[in-house]
Amino acid sequence: MKWIIHRLQVTPELIGLRLDQYLANSSAGLSRTQAKKIIDLGGVHVNGRRVRSCSTAVLLGESVEVYIDQLPLEPYRIKEQDILFQDQFIIVLNKHALIDTQPTHARFKGTLFESLQWHLKDPFRPQKKAEIGMIQRLDRGTSGIIVFSIHPRAHKEMTRIFLEHEVKKDYLALVHGAPGSSQGEIRSFLARSRRENRVKSVEKGGKEAITRFHLVEKFANYSLLDVEILTGRSHQIRAHMAEQGCPLVGDQRYGGEDQISGIKILRPLLHASNLAFRHPVLNHDMVFSVPMPEDMQGSINMLKMRDL
């Protein structure tokens, strides 16, 4: 899903307008209602700085950038059913697909991080921000289990647990084709290519990435894999599977197609299904598992029906 970006400059006839009025009268083609919502989400930047106040007056020559990620303009909020576990030290969530983990140019409000701040807000001290440790990140399109530390006593140890790979992370991935064997391990060094805007394996440099997989179910031209990552590199599963000739369904950046039998796939079909680690403060084992969300299960059901 590509962003829409409008880059504007304030001209003399629009000087002094409120920011929402300015956008409604600009070439961005937004209604005032849309402008208000995008400003509130954090998708408008004036002179390179995010501005979330509709009443801010624009000045001559100011640059205004509007970032639209084409996701719902109503901000995501954590619901009770999204919480797998919470105590005073950590919180484990079942992340929805198409929710950004951390703030982007297009939005601050409604990201998982901001929603967690909102969820943890102290009603008696609403100005005090919760202390959140973001130990892991899931891509916008990835659904499933994610853990945050929410107390200073947990931050350092939780970070160590992930850095030293004392955590077991398993994913379900629906891919094109099938790997050369029913199970295997992929080791490489991954680096980001800015020119291609993606991660790839390189001979020199990069960071070590280790991915293990085994075949769960095979369909005509598709496979469901269980994937364990022993390292947590950005886009690790997406890059490694694409390099095996098996890109994730829906992952156009890495060569996957965005439809099955004419049905549009809105995201790479990757789901963080299992997570296991020791509690950073209480030191007991924590094991979590969540089923696939409806969109991914629906795609698999479609493949099963097609193969009958």
Q: Let me know if residue 74 belongs to a domain.
A: no
d(CA 211, CA 226): 10
**One domain for residues 41 and 115:** no
Instruction: Please say whether the beta carbons of 171 and 211 come within 8 A.
Output: no
**One domain for residues 46 and 177:** no
Distances (CA, A) of 245 to 179, 180, 221, 238: 7, 9, 12, 11
pLDDT tens for 215-252 read 999 999 999 999 999 998 999 999 999 999 999 999 99
Which residue range forms the structural domain that includes residue 54?
Answer: 4-68
**One domain for residues 179 and 150:** yes
Which one from 20, 40, 69, 139 is the annotated catalytic residue? 139
pLDDT tens for 49-83 read 999 999 999 999 999 999 999 999 999 999 999 99
Task: Please determine, for residue 291, whether its predicted confidence score (pLDDT) is greater than 80.
Answer: yes
Q: Give every CB contact of residue 81 below 8 A, 6+ residues apart in sequence.
A: 94
CATH number, domain containing residue 228: 3.30.2350.10
Q: Let me know if residue 103 belongs to a domain.
A: yes
Distances (CA, A) of 248 to 46, 48, 185, 188, 251: 37, 35, 17, 18, 5
Q: Give every CB contact of residue 151 below 8 A, 6+ residues apart in sequence.
A: 88, 89, 90, 131, 281
Q: Let me know if residue 75 belongs to a domain.
A: no
Q: Please give the pLDDT value at position 307.
A: 72
Which pLDDT band holds residue 116 (cuts at 50, 70, 90)? very high
Q: Let me know if residue 261 belongs to a domain.
A: yes
Q: Checking DSSP bridges between strand 143-149 and strand 270-278, what pairing results, if any?
A: parallel
Q: Please give the pLDDT value at position 1.
A: 65
Q: Please give the pLDDT value at position 212.
A: 97
Q: Give every CB contact of residue 138 below 8 A, 6+ residues apart in sequence.
A: 95, 101, 144, 146, 272
CATH number, domain containing residue 15: 3.10.290.10
pLDDT tens for 147-194 read 999 999 999 999 999 999 999 999 999 999 999 999 999 999 999 988
Residue 100 designated active-site: no
Which pLDDT band holds residue 196 (cuts at 50, 70, 90)? confident
Instruction: Please say whether the beta carbons of 214 and 179 come within 8 A.
Output: no
**One domain for residues 245 and 114:** yes
**Domain count across the chain:** 2
In 3D space, the residue among 72, 71, 75, 63 whose CA is nearest the CA of residue 19 turns out to be 63
What is the Cα 148 distance to its own chain's centre?
14
**One domain for residues 150 and 22:** no
Task: Please determine, for residue 308, whether its predicted confidence score (pLDDT) is greater than 70.
Answer: no
**One domain for residues 59 and 106:** no
